[in-house]
Amino acid sequence: MSFIRGPNPIWFMNNLTGAPLDDTYYAFFLTNDLPYVPQAVYQDPDGLIPWSDPIEFQPSAGLPNNLYFDPTLVYRIEIRQGPDQTYPLIWLIENYTLSSEAESGGVIALTTTSNIITNPQFADIDFVSPLVITTAGTYDIAPGWQLVLTGTGTTTVTQVANSGDSNIEGNPPYYITFANSGWSTAQLIQTFTNNGAIFAGGAIAVSFLAAATGTPVQLSVIYTPSNLPGNSTTIFPISGPGTITVGALTEYSAAVDIPASTNTDSGPAANVQIIFVLPVNGTISLTNIQITGQSQPLPSGYLQTMNPLFQEIPYERVVDQEFHIYKDSLLTEPKDNLLVGWTFALNPWQYATITSTNIPVNQYTADQTIIIQQNYVATGTGNNVAVGQGTAAQNHAYVVTAVTATNQFAIVQYIDPRTIGTYWGQILSAMVNTAISTSNSTTVKFKVRLIWSTALPLTVSRTEPILSWTAGADPTFSSAWTPIVPLNDPAYTLVNGTNTNFAFDQFQLPESTSVNMTLGIVLYTTGSMSITSPADSILFNRVSLVPNDYAIDASTETYDETLRKCQYYYEKSYQVGALPGTASYVGSNAIVTSLGAIAFLYSFYIRYQQYKRNNPLVTLYSPRTGAANTISVGIRINGSYPAGIPTNPADVAASNLLITTYESQNGSQAVSQNTTTVFASSETSGEVVNEYQYTADARMGM
């Protein structure tokens, strides 16, 4: 009887941390049934010279090449970290057999080799299922997977959860279904980068579960190296029609030799693609996709009908194996939020009330937060929602509550050209943490757009940035604004009572063409809340927008950091919580000068607390009355204001003041009296006290 050599690379293994096994590891060859006693492996094809038991791994990693097996036996192989069976078990290979049909060399049953496919069960996806596609293009549908469609047609992609059917090989938690119609080509692709010759000169095997719906469909699996598309190798089917049958998910598999590589690509330009050629008409479901390879061609006489068993893996291991996809985004990209004040618990609400208030028009509410109402945009009838800050139990979220039955709305923020300037041409992603509060079983979806314009926004009005808006549809933006759609344009359903993160990935920004190019973000609902008491509310906790391929939470901020960023656009002298126009001396500024025969207003300067985006509009307020465009002027003698001068102190209209701008962005406003006497007194001693509150408004669209 001739013994058969087990070919490489099964004898090259890594330990559980990914390092190659060295001479501290041993292989035990045993019977496949209890009590698992040693079973001989030989150094020669005649079976005359047995190897010692166990066999020590070589210092350079791997076992000896000349391992000959009895083709009539079934082996159990244990890899342990030590020379006897008390040491930890690292790998277990059961049911190991060699085909007696092979005439030279053995046939390895690739039941335990590592699967190189990422996300083989489509447990993670990059879309809201189901996804309907009607335009040809390349779609990143899941980590590791691209769907490429050409021609004209329709595809519906659906992630389906396994309902617990343990009869499905490998127990996949999910499978994915493609319902295609009309395309010229439809391909599902996974790309392996930085190597244009993986397994070239050796062999490769594929195994997957598939099922057709309605009628059988055709499927092919192709190995394609970069730079050499004509050198592709069909892995499945190796012969015949490659028909996927209707019914339950069924295992399909094949293995072929891969020609020696002549690929000249190297580094990041080099890659190999595994391409699943999908039916252009028909419905197919896929899961448990496994690709395994070996560094030597298949043995002569091998029938090329492998059945590599899918290794059952938990979802956690799928996530572990996706790290390479997210590595650059997680480790190398900036994480600061490009948005201002959209961690709403930290928003200072400088110019609006914090308590819930009906909103009659499109307007700024919380800092850097514009509310736009679909009814107001479409018909001019506003007051569809109320806006305010939530309670401590609501994480002090930005709360939008339904007032009328038709209440689609959007929240908008503009990002000024200086802030966004360095990011044109890059990819941004947004993470939204939000929830709906409903007792009415309401279902509301929401979406996100980025918008850009070559000019600054002029107004917050009925037509900017949203020109029109039909109920249940995406808004139509004014001609000045171009929308940017995220990856696969998800529409998420808000979760009742549960604050949930929703990801909007890969907004591709255009290149800069103007110094005034402005970016905006628009979060909008695509349905209405219920006004049945208690009326529904939507709670926005935080929104991040970061330069990243995938949405992440931005770095945390403190309240003072958020306030400083908000003051870049708007600031006030009033204390936090006091609205402009309030009669309050807290935070006010006082200019004191010596009293002469006639009390004139002397020149003074306003120093801003924060550099401004642009020259702001400055408004003065009397702290004694809250009246706008006035200041309070009084004559103070020995610390008190004597009466009868005729009124002391008194408001002086700002129309009697000259406000001249010097270096206003970094905080200098010159305020001086004109030639008109505004306050006369017979007193000749004491001092003149000019007191005022102010706001400096550099918000966009104001």
Question: Which is more confidently placed, 509 or 34?
Answer: 509
Question: Which is more confidently placed, 537 or 295?
Answer: 537
Q: How confident is the model at residue 110 (pLDDT cuts 50, 70, 90)?
A: very low
- Name residue 518's beta-bridge partners: 453
Q: How confident is the model at residue 617 (pLDDT cuts 50, 70, 90)?
A: confident
What's the whole-number mean pLDDT along residues 231-250? 84
Q: How confident is the model at residue 668 (pLDDT cuts 50, 70, 90)?
A: low
pLDDT in the model for residue 607: 81
pLDDT in the model for residue 260: 87
Q: How confident is the model at residue 103 (pLDDT cuts 50, 70, 90)?
A: very low
C-alpha distances in Å from residue 254, one per residue of 290, 304, 516: 11, 6, 58
Nearest-angstrom CA–CA distance, 309 and 323: 25
pLDDT in the model for residue 169: 75
For 277-294, how does the pLDDT look when each residue is reduced to its tens digit (9 = 90+)?
999 999 999 999 988 887
pLDDT in the model for residue 502: 95
What's the whole-number mean pLDDT along residues 2-24? 68
Nearest-angstrom CA–CA distance, 380 and 511: 36
Token pair, residue 79, equals 């890899």
Identify whether the C-beta of residue 102 lies closer than 8 Å to the C-beta of residue 299.
yes
For 188-217, how does the pLDDT look when each residue is reduced to its tens digit (9 = 90+)?
999 998 888 888 888 888 889 999 999 999
Q: Which of 72-81, 386-395, 468-477, 649-658 has the lowest mean pLDDT?
A: 649-658
Token pair, residue 555, equals 């770095």
What's the whole-number mean pLDDT along residues 31-51? 88
Identify whether the C-beta of residue 543 lies closer than 8 Å to the C-beta of residue 342.
yes
Q: Any residues with CB less than 8 A from the CB of 682 and at least 6 apart, and which?
A: 645
Q: What are phi and psi of 596, to 5 degrees?
A: -110, -165
DSSP 340: S
Is residue 372 exposed (0-12), middle (13-18) or buried (19+ Cβ within 10 Å)?
Answer: buried
Token pair, residue 602, equals 């002397």
Nearest-angstrom CA–CA distance, 88 and 78: 10
Nearest-angstrom CA–CA distance, 307 and 177: 23
The listed range with the strongest mean pLDDT (74-83, 136-145, 678-687) is 136-145
What is the Cβ-side half-sphere exposure of residue 356, based on CA atoms within 13 angstroms? Answer: 16
Q: How confident is the model at residue 659 (pLDDT cuts 50, 70, 90)?
A: low
Evaluated on CA atoms 94, 99, 104, 110, the torsion sign reads negative
Nearest-angstrom CA–CA distance, 585 and 203: 83
For 42-90, how does the pLDDT look when each residue is reduced to its tens digit (9 = 90+)?
988 888 889 989 999 887 667 877 788 888 888 899 999 999 988 988 8
**Nearest residue to 122 (alpha-carbon basis) of 169, 168, 165, 162:** 162
% of residues, the chain, pLDDT over 70: 84
Identify whether the C-beta of residue 382 lies closer than 8 Å to the C-beta of residue 375.
yes
Number of helical H runs and strand E runs in the chain: 5, 42
pLDDT in the model for residue 111: 39
Token pair, residue 508, equals 């591709």
Token pair, residue 451, equals 């918008």
Nearest-angstrom CA–CA distance, 319 and 77: 29
Question: Which is more confidently placed, 340 or 328?
Answer: 340
Nearest-angstrom CA–CA distance, 27 and 91: 9
Return mean pLDDT, the chain: 86
DSSP 654: G
pTM, two decimals, is 0.74
Nearest-angstrom CA–CA distance, 700 and 698: 6
Nearest-angstrom CA–CA distance, 608 and 301: 85
**Nearest residue to 251 (alpha-carbon basis) of 282, 290, 221:** 290
Nearest-angstrom CA–CA distance, 50 and 89: 23
Nearest-angstrom CA–CA distance, 171 and 162: 8
Q: How confident is the model at residue 578 (pLDDT cuts 50, 70, 90)?
A: very high
C-alpha distances in Å from residue 392, one per residue of 117, 345, 352, 429: 46, 9, 19, 29
For 517-530, how does the pLDDT look when each residue is reduced to its tens digit (9 = 90+)?
999 999 999 999 99
C-alpha distances in Å from residue 75, one per residue of 70, 94, 421: 9, 7, 65
What type of residue is 442?
T
C-alpha distances in Å from residue 263, one per residue of 27, 223, 259, 296, 297: 37, 13, 11, 18, 18
Evaluated on CA atoms 229, 231, 236, 239, the torsion sign reads positive
Q: Which of 411-415, 589-593, 644-648 has the lowest mean pLDDT?
A: 644-648
C-alpha distances in Å from residue 497, one per residue of 403, 431, 434, 525: 20, 18, 9, 17
- Name residue 509's beta-bridge partners: none
pLDDT in the model for residue 288: 92
Q: How confident is the model at residue 675 (pLDDT cuts 50, 70, 90)?
A: very low
3-state secondary structure of 253: strand
What is the Cβ-side half-sphere exposure of residue 16, based on CA atoms within 13 angstroms? Answer: 9
pLDDT in the model for residue 8: 47
* 100 has a pLDDT exceeding 50: no
* 23 has a pLDDT exceeding 90: no
pLDDT in the model for residue 602: 55
The CA radius of gyration of the chain, in Å to the nearest whole number, is 36
* 133 has a pLDDT exceeding 60: yes
Torsion angle of the four alpha carbons 118, 119, 120, 122, in this order, in degrees rounded to the nearest 10: -150
For 419-456, how does the pLDDT look when each residue is reduced to its tens digit (9 = 90+)?
999 999 999 999 999 999 999 999 999 999 999 999 99
Which residue carries 């127990």 as its tokens? 171
Nearest-angstrom CA–CA distance, 88 and 82: 8
pLDDT in the model for residue 66: 79
For 146-161, how does the pLDDT look when each residue is reduced to its tens digit (9 = 90+)?
999 999 999 999 999 9
- Name residue 646's beta-bridge partners: none
Q: Give the largest Cα separation in the chain, rounded.
A: 130
pLDDT in the model for residue 179: 98
Evaluated on CA atoms 328, 334, 338, 344, the torsion sign reads positive
Q: What are phi and psi of 26, to 5 degrees?
A: -135, 150
pLDDT in the model for residue 279: 96
What's the whole-number mean pLDDT along residues 15-28? 80
Q: How confident is the model at residue 240 (pLDDT cuts 50, 70, 90)?
A: low
Token pair, residue 624, equals 């004694």
* 660 has a pLDDT exceeding 60: no
For Cα atoms 491, 497, 498, give the angle at the middle one, nearest 5 degrees.
Answer: 65
Show the beta-strand stretches assigned E in 101-248.
Answer: 131-133, 137-142, 145-161, 174-193, 203-213, 217-218, 220-225, 233-236, 243-244
